[in-house]
A and B are shown apart, each in its own frame.
Chain A
Amino acid sequence: MSRTIKIEPVSRIEGHAKITLTLGDDGRVEDARFHLTQFRGFEKFCEGRPFPEMPALTARTCGICPVSHLVASSKACDHLLSVAIPVTAGKLRRLMNLAQLVQSHALSYFHLSSADLLLGMDSAPEQRNIFGILAENPQVARDGIRLRQIGQTIIEILGGKKIHPGWMVPGGVNAPLAEEQRQKILAMIPEGLEIAKRTLSSFKALVGRFSEEIEHLGNFPSMYLSLVSPEGGLEHYDGVFRIKNAEGAIVLDKVPLVDYARIIGEAVEPFSYMKFPYYLPAGYPNGIYRVGPLARLNNCDFCGTPLADAALEEFRALQPGKPVSSSFHFHYARLIEIVYGLERMGQLLIDPEITSTRVRARARGNNSEGIGVAEAPRGTLIHHYKTDADGLMTWANLIIATGHNNLAMNRAVKQSAQHFVDGNDLKEGALNRVEAVIRCYDPCLSCASHAFGQMPLEIELVDASGEVVDRVTR
């Protein structure tokens, strides 16, 4: 008798999703699927609206990473205006994007995943959250809260608001950075870096305990897609596309961002509202690739900041000569990127150009099509717009970071479920590992912030006729 286990909703992620595990007659997992169960249709809302509204409108997709949407959308609008924005505007946008990277990675690591890592995958579910961490290791909880606060405060100083700042606009930003603001942000960097360094070394000490998870939590060969700088360095704001294969060889390099449609196709599946992007030349579903911190570190030649470069070298030693393939190491990569983000912000802030008052290019809509690409914390984010002759939107396509990882997440769920879940002896800790592999990708499903750590988790055992034979709720 084949049975189905549903994990719904998946907890400690951004948004609502469920996991279905189909068991064979022997009780082993035969198939596993990760479904996005909500539909929001942002692309439809955009139609008919004037394009300068797009940064604010599309940023509403997400309460965690609105800045990423602001960046990608503003860049798509720059393309519509057909302007090169002032150099300082680019640097300021980059600054805010990095602040967002730091706060979002801090949220993912400390608030959502550290409980699995510090308290253990089998610890009591009611303890396995940031409050459990607070009780067990208050310093770690404080570090997480402070690091996130630093990122958010920088966003607030730059944009006037922590969430949904309206500062990034088509053509640049709408206010320059004042000297006093520069000093304020600069003063926060050393504290942030201390926390980041501390966290990275404590993570490295922990890694040894998770060899089974590293081996089986989404450890599979795939391609990696990310932006890199024209020189091949780690990049989050601009640059070019690079794709590496599972062996670490560069498949494609220096692909201009506006050519994304040449390399990325999008498939749909009836079981999920999320599309399945794939590497076009390899076809679907063979064109599976991963994006995000792991892909960025696997793809780049260097980070460009001293501490992050040293950390990158150690990271590379995990799988010498090859890309690091375990999804578990998304966490590792995230921590290195936090270090990088803080270092890089420090570099940008001492650049004398950063306080220049030339921060906006003005023009009317000159192109009818605009494409904007940036690296969001979770991976490559693409906004593509078409407008009519009056500058009203006629079409939009957003490929979000989590979407790129959809094929990979499904593969990862199946792998970890097959390894950890035994349908004849259902253990909560095993199901938590299946969820944990999803949390490695830090998916932002609804792209909206929800209560984390407190979401009810319901697992149902359903037999072949659809009858619920068992139910566990926490």
Chain B
Amino acid sequence: MARHPATPAAAPKVRVVTLKIDGHDIGAREDETILNAANDNGIRIPTLCYLEGLSEWGACRMCVVEVAGSPKLMTACSTRVAEGMEVTTNSDRLQRYRRTILELLFAERNHICSVCVSNGHCELQSLARACGMDHVRVPYRNAAYAVDSSHDLFRIDQNRCILCTRCVRVCDEIEGAHTWDVMGRGVDSQVITDLNQPWGQSTSCTGCSKCVQVCPTGALVKKGTAAGEMEKQGGFLPYLTEMRGNR
């Protein structure tokens, strides 16, 4: 039986704009973010809460860039490109800000890499290394955070959580379970399962492990892993998103 390709839906009209990123002339679709346009052209901007295949969040501020004419720094993951824009992705000022952001993340909760299950496979840790963060100049809060080990397969260690909300988004947008959410405000914010029930008692969790695999740090992990043994496999995400036709 002959196969016929489905008639393509009429593509919406999207304009192409030209802009400069780090002095390079670049063409991009007007609905693209600065981050996407930069990535497409081989310019790397550090990110942490951003994950291809999930909605944009703009929480961690690692991807801040300078846009000529704007006194404010913009997050590359959530700012659209515009005609004639001039973007700088790397400068002394940006490096300083990024290092400070990382220092604040380390100081806020308790990161003791040497004994952490994610040691050596952690996005926060490798970003700190890449950004040259060798000291934390603000005092550590040393606040006590709980570890919830009630789930049969997984564990959440709030000490290592950086509130990137990747777990919340993947659970809602890809798995469709919406087990995870954020509770509280400011420094008291915390990711929770169901209505702040122990994870092991969650009736909505399907046990799919997507949240664990996309978590950038040692916060969401598989049980039974010893220090340095938790390697995440987040590669499924772009594939799943594509197979769903970006629905």
Contacts and interface: CB of A to CB of B under 8 A. Distances in A.
A85 to B, nearest CB: 14
A48 interface: yes
A164 B147 contact: no
Contact of A392 (B115, B147, B227, B229): B147
Contact of B226 (A60, A164, A169, A364): A169
Interface stretch (A15-23, A51-59, A132-140): A51-59
Given A48-B147, A169-B229, A164 B223 contact: no
Contact of B223 (A48, A50, A55, A56): A50
19 contacts: A48-B144, A48-B147, A50-B149, A50-B155, A50-B223, A52-B117, A52-B224, A53-B226, A53-B227, A55-B226, A56-B114, A56-B115, A60-B115, A166-B227, A364-B223, A364-B224, A390-B200, A391-B223, A392-B147
A53 B115 contact: yes
B226 to A, nearest CB: 4
Contacts of B228: 56, 166
A390 B149 contact: yes
B225 interface: yes
Interface of A: 48-50, 52-53, 55-57, 60, 164, 166, 169-170, 174, 362, 364, 390-392
A170 B226 contact: yes
Which of B157, B200, B224, B228 has most A Cβ within 10 Å? B224
A390 B150 contact: yes
A96 to B, nearest CB: 15
A47 to B, nearest CB: 10
A56 B226 contact: yes
A76 to B, nearest CB: 13
A473 B238 CA distance: 67
A391 B200 CA distance: 13
Which of B149, B200, B225, B228 has most A Cβ within 10 Å? B149
Contacts of B149: 50, 390-392
B117 to A, nearest CB: 7
B147 A49 contact: yes
Contact of B115 (A48, A57, A174): A57
A451 B117 CA distance: 30
A50 B226 CA distance: 9
B110 to A, nearest CB: 11
A55 B119 CA distance: 14
Contact of A174 (B117, B146, B226): B226
B206 to A, nearest CB: 20
A167 to B, nearest CB: 9
A57 B149 CA distance: 18
A261 B40 CA distance: 65
A149 B105 CA distance: 39
A50 B119 CA distance: 15
Given A49-B147, A50-B147, A57-B227, 17 more contacts: A48-B147, A52-B117, A52-B226, A53-B226, A55-B226, A56-B114, A60-B114, A60-B115, A164-B114, A169-B226, A169-B229, A174-B229, A364-B224, A390-B148, A391-B149, A391-B223, A392-B149
Contacts of A166: 119, 226-229
A362 B224 contact: yes
A60 B227 CA distance: 12
B157 to A, nearest CB: 8
B227 A55 contact: yes
A366 to B, nearest CB: 12
Nearest to A390: B149
Interface string B201-233: 000000000000000000000011111110000
B118 to A, nearest CB: 11
Contacts of A392: 147, 149
A53 B117 CA distance: 7
Nearest to A171: B224
Nearest to A49: B147
A75 B229 CA distance: 18
B30 to A, nearest CB: 49
A170 B229 CA distance: 12
Nearest to B221: A50
Contacts of A49: 147
A175 to B, nearest CB: 11
B139 to A, nearest CB: 19
Contacts of A390: 148-150, 200
A364 B113 CA distance: 24
Contacts of A362: 224
Interface string B103-147: 000000000001101010000000000000000000000001011
A410 to B, nearest CB: 33
A174 B155 CA distance: 20
B225 to A, nearest CB: 6
A393 to B, nearest CB: 10
A100 to B, nearest CB: 18
Nearest to B116: A53
Which of A55, A56, A57, A364 has most B Cβ within 10 Å? A56
Contacts of B200: 390
Contacts of B119: 166
Contacts of B227: 53, 55-57, 166
